[in-house]
């Protein structure tokens, strides 16, 4: 199968690309290589995937906001399946500059849906986010929970979901939106809590928590995210649906920092600073819908996932750590 992965040089996109290559598919990656964080990490992701299957991997540098490029790629490469992972990420970033995420996360998505309709692709998988929920009415979030995003980023992801729903209902484009809950693992973005805590601890510095540390997160290991995406190659049961893709439970940020101190063996004490605007206080996914429709069963606990990440970090410090420390 010919598959387009947008944002395929990023953390999640590169892991999905690797999974698709291992499954025998031909991959075209479209990524603008935005220096939102050091592009050296993205270049490593590209090389890692290229080495996996050099004859079935193509990288194209460009933006999903380039409508002509998007149409040309989908048509000329005879794309059958699109995994749309490209986005301007960052809740806090979107508060500072709301126009950029709107252009990329909304207009860019629309370009892809138009091309998907024109070419008659088999399925369009949209990467959404738990940020669409915002204000907590009850936990865990199920897909019927109210959507009151608390950041421009959350608004753009919710808008993208509605575009996907309309393209399924009106234009018969098979679409699915997966709401990710705080994804982590090897090659993750350097500005995430797990990476920052690990970096600081391994260098003898205390992890710094924004707020009181009692906020909770549903951290989802990257292998579980890849599994959910690849399941969509095998079934059409989820056409037009939105599904939560989360983990096996929640953890407070303070407990997370304590886990990482324990795993690294650091002799440090947690420090606290002022909370950041627009960050959700709690997240927790009800994944029963994904379980029913695509057989999704998250398998990696936060403790096991943190241990795997710390081991990977130690083995890759030579190229990964300087980028983290300079981010």
pLDDT of residue 179: 98
The answer to whether the peptide bond before residue 140 is cis (omega within 30 degrees of 0) is yes
DSSP annotation string for 241-265: -EEEE--S--EEHHHHHHHHHHHHT
Contact between 70 and 102 (Cβ < 8 Å): no
Residues 6+ apart with CB under 8 A from 73: 4, 28, 30, 60, 79, 115
Catalytic, out of 153, 180, 296, 313: 153
pLDDT of residue 325: 60
DSSP letter, residue 300? -
Please report, for the chain, the start and end positions of each structural domain, with discontinuous segments joined by +: 2-181+222-246+285-298, 193-215+249-281+307-325
Contact between 308 and 230 (Cβ < 8 Å): no
**Own/partner pairs for 38-42, CB < 8 Å, 24+ apart?**
38/190, 38/323, 38/326, 38/327, 40/319, 40/323, 41/187, 41/189, 41/190, 41/320, 41/323, 42/9, 42/10, 42/14
153 among known catalytic residues: yes
Q: In CATH, what class is 2-181+222-246+285-298?
A: alpha beta
pLDDT in tens, 210-264: 999 999 999 999 999 999 999 999 888 899 999 999 998 899 999 999 999 999 9
* pLDDT tens over the chain, length 327 residues: 999 999 999 999 999 999 999 999 999 999 999 988 889 999 999 999 999 999 999 999 999 999 999 999 999 999 999 999 999 988 888 888 899 999 999 999 999 999 999 999 999 999 999 999 998 999 999 999 999 999 999 999 999 999 999 999 999 999 999 999 999 999 999 889 999 999 999 999 999 999 999 999 999 999 999 999 999 998 888 999 999 999 988 999 999 999 999 999 999 999 999 987 667 788 999 999 999 999 999 999 999 999 999 999 999 999 898 666 644
Fold of 193-215+249-281+307-325: UDP-galactose 4-epimerase; domain 1 (3.90.25)
DSSP letter, residue 274? P
Domains 2-181+222-246+285-298 and 193-215+249-281+307-325 in one fold = no
pLDDT of residue 323: 64
pLDDT of residue 262: 97
Whole-Å CA distances, 105 to 152, 213, 292: 10, 30, 28
Distance CA 250, CA 238 (A): 26
């Amino acid at each position: 199968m010919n598959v387009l992965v947008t944002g395929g040089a990023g953390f999640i996109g590169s892991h999905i690309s690797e999974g698709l290559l291992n499954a025998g598919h031909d991959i075209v990656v479209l990524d603008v290589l935005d220096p939102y964080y050091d592009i050296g990490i993205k270049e490593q992701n590209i090389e890692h995937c290229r080495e996996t299957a050099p004859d079935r991997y193509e990288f194209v540098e460009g933006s999903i906001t380039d409508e002509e490029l998007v149409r040309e790629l989908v048509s000329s490469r005879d794309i059958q399946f699109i995994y749309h992972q490209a986005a301007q990420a960052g809740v806090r970033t979107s508060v500072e500059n709301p126009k950029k995420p709107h252009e990329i996360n909304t207009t860019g998505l629309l370009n892809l849906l138009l091309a998907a309709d024109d070419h008659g692709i088999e399925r369009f998988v949209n990467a959404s986010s738990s940020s669409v929920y915002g204000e907590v009415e009850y936990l865990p979030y199920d897909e019927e929970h109210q959507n009151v995003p608390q950041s421009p980023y959350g608004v753009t992801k919710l808008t993208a979901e509605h575009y996907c729903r309309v393209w399924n209902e009106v234009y018969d484009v098979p679409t699915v939106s997966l709401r990710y809950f705080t994804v982590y693992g090897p090659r993750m973005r350097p500005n995430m809590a797990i990476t920052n805590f690990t970096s600081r601890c391994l260098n003898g510095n205390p992890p710094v928590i924004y707020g009181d540390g009692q906020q909770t997160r549903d951290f989802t290991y990257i292998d579980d995210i890849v599994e959910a995406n690849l399941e969509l190659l095998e079934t059409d049961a989820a056409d037009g649906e939105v599904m939560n893709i989360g983990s096996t439970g929640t953890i407070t940020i303070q407990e997370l920092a304590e886990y990482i101190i324990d795993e690294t063996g650091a002799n440090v004490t947690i420090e606290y600073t002022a909370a950041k605007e627009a960050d959700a206080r709690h997240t927790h996914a009800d994944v029963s819908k994904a379980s029913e429709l695509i057989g999704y069963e998250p398998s990696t606990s936060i403790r096991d996932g943190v241990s795997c990440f710390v081991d990977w970090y130690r083995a890759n410090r030579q190229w990964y750590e300087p980028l983290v420390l300079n981010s």
